[in-house]
Chain A
Amino acid sequence: MLKYIVRRLILTVPILLGLSILVFLFVRALPGGPAIALLGERATQESVEQIEEELGLDRPLPVQYLSYLRNILSGDLGSSVSTRRPIVDELKQRFPATFELAAMAMLFAVAAGIPLGYVAAKRYQGVLDNVSLVASLIGISFPVFFLALLMKYVFAVKLGWLPTVGRIDVTRSLEHPTGFYLLDAIIAGDGEAFVDVLEHLIMPAIALGTIPLAIVARITRAAVLDVLGEDYVRTAKAKGLDPSVVDRRHVLRNAMLPVVTVIGLQTGLLLTGAVLTETVFSFPGLGSWILNAIRFRDYAVIQGGILFFAGMFIVVNLLVDISYAFLNPRIRYR
């Protein structure tokens, strides 16, 4: 098991390397360099050259790449060209925001999707099954940003139940030792702040979690249906095992394998959806940050941000693979 994890970790190195080259080249190929972005379209040739020299952009590409790689390895992702803030600082601030959002969205998707899919399978072809099928179809077909806009309009603008933008009420003072606002509120023992942060999370998380919810429900339904027809389930029932025990120990546990795979894959898509959700709710996370960086051709932010995004995706997939072993002892990693 440990050997497997180590091997998987080693395998991610070439992927990350390839990715860094890809992102590096992409950023250099963007029309108009960062100097132009910084100085404006009418900058003089000299001032452009001066800035490029300052940023080291006048050196040959392989040299630039190697020094970039060296910096990454020493934990230095450079500074934002526009705000001059170190990327690492910005990541520390924005990663917790997106993480909190994605985690809540996934929690929502899993907490609602698995029971929904399970019940639908147990009531196969019943009313509930059909309702859940239609609902999940609608969930998959709705663009994230449309759902986000609708929710914002209904629950924030019309009903005034929930706040429209940001992570926390701007007038509230809360220390941020961790950057995870929910955690910060718990550390500060501030119940009101906790509720405030939660209220800011509800809509973005539901908007972001709806597609994964629909997919988790569908996969759970299919997997449970599959397992219910297995011999070992019939055997377990035949030997008089309590039906709830059969469901828990035999059906659900075996049906979880494909579900976990899908959860892992969806987490990657969640990061994509975060770009849209964060835009609609002005949520200060990674998605809106990278989007702005691309708009303003902020080289360092694009490089650092995309690498970080992809790194997260790779880690999530690794975790998914490892969790297989716990769920299914039949899988033995060599």
Chain B
Amino acid sequence: MSVAEAQAAELSLERPSGLWRDAFDRFRRNPAALVGVGLLLVLIIAAVFAAQLAPHEPNQQVGPLSTNPAGPGGGFTLGLDEQGRDVLSRLLFGARLSLLVGVVSVAIGLSIGLVFGAVAGYIGGWVDTAIMRVMDLLLSVPSLLMAIGLVTLLGRGMVQIMFAVGVTTVPIFARLLRGSILGQREADYVLAARSVGVPGRRLLLGHIIPNSIAPVIVQATLTMATAIIEVAALSFLGLGPGDPSLPEWGKMMADNANRLESAAHLVLLPGFAIVISTMGLNLIGDGLREAIDPKLRS
């Protein structure tokens, strides 16, 4: 057997395993990441089955109006709010809003950011310079301030708010994908694909982007946590959804910020609901990062 044949035989003994399969295996063995998945599942189940799980309608008055509403325990698992509404039901329906906000605003930021990042990274030259300078410009405005500005400009509907928060994340994704593509553009496999005549568009969409996307996915998970916090912060500042009946967590906190003494549960419960969601997403994001990039593995 020649040396080449020997090597070939040796190689074929290994089960071929791709990056994603490897990553999945590593992710599955990471306890912290699994805790994150658990927390996220809680959020998803609460959001999807809010109507089935909630004992009452989120806006239904089921108890007395009171400046000193009943806390957890008693007839209502998590107590009532000042308008006699069931807190548990409102929290569950609030999960819907938060999850929606997280997913949609990141999807908006991600898709715009990916287009800019891909164009800048792939075309290069003055297009790259122009796009990246605009991104620098956007990054120089603190994100919450920009979101506040956009909401003031566009109005306070849920769609506008998700758009505003999404836009603030565009430069992050654009930069990340651009950097990642720049690293791939000169790689051997790209050269190989180009030399066998793969057209530019397919080269970008079929080869370069799939190989550059890993860090973007990690960032998207982490950004989802930020987006949830940011929308809650907007609500907290009185710039949340214009519809006052929406059980948005940040708004629930803002409405009761001065009732910490008499009805702490009205601030603490939505607060911890936010923390659980963001913690779940952060744990998953970290887990994914470690799974995808073996260098960062501890």
Contacts and interface: CB of A to CB of B under 8 A. Distances in A.
A291 B237 CA distance: 9
B140 A310 contact: yes
Interface string B147-159: 0110011010000
A19 B141 contact: yes
Nearest to B238: A295
B253 A141 contact: no
Nearest to A273: B144
B118 to A, nearest CB: 23
A306 B147 CA distance: 13
Main secondary structure of the interface of B (DSSP, over half): helix
Contacts of A284: none
A19 B271 contact: no
A29 B229 contact: no
Given A19-B141, A294-B149, A294-B152, A157 B260 contact: yes
A137 B283 contact: yes
Contacts of B286: 137
A314 interface: yes
Contacts of A14: 133
Interface string A11-36: 00011001100100010011100000
A309 B237 contact: no
A221 to B, nearest CB: 10
B298 interface: yes
B193 interface: no
A276 B144 contact: yes
A309 B143 CA distance: 12
Interface string A249-286: 00000000000000000001101110110011000000
Given A137-B283, A140-B282, A275 B145 contact: yes
B11 to A, nearest CB: 30
A47 interface: no
Interface residues of A, number: 46
Interface string A128-149: 0000000001101111111001
Contacts, number: 116
Given A18-B133, A141-B282, A309 B141 contact: yes
A271 B250 CA distance: 20
A51 B261 CA distance: 46
Contacts of A310: 140-141
Interface in B94-143: 133-134, 136-137, 139-143
Given A125-B298, A157-B261, A146 B142 contact: no
Nearest to B281: A141
Interface string A58-87: 000000000000000000000000000000
B285 to A, nearest CB: 10
A4 interface: no
Question: Looking at B237, B253, B278, which has the most chain A CB atoms within 10 Å of its CB?
Answer: B237
A290 interface: yes
A256 B296 CA distance: 18
A103 interface: no
A302 B236 CA distance: 20
A22 B137 contact: yes
Nearest to A276: B233
Contacts of A15: 133, 136-137, 140
Contact of A149 (B134, B137, B260): B260
B148 A294 contact: yes
Interface in A305-321: 306, 309-310, 313-314
Contacts of B268: 150
Interface string B274-288: 110011001100100
Contacts of A309: 141-142, 145
Interface of A: 14-15, 18-19, 22, 26, 29-31, 124-125, 137-138, 140-146, 149-150, 152-153, 157, 222, 225, 268-269, 271-273, 275-276, 279-280, 290-291, 294-295, 302, 306, 309-310, 313-314
15 contacts: A15-B140, A18-B133, A18-B134, A29-B153, A30-B152, A124-B298, A143-B229, A146-B271, A157-B261, A275-B142, A275-B148, A291-B237, A302-B149, A306-B141, A313-B142
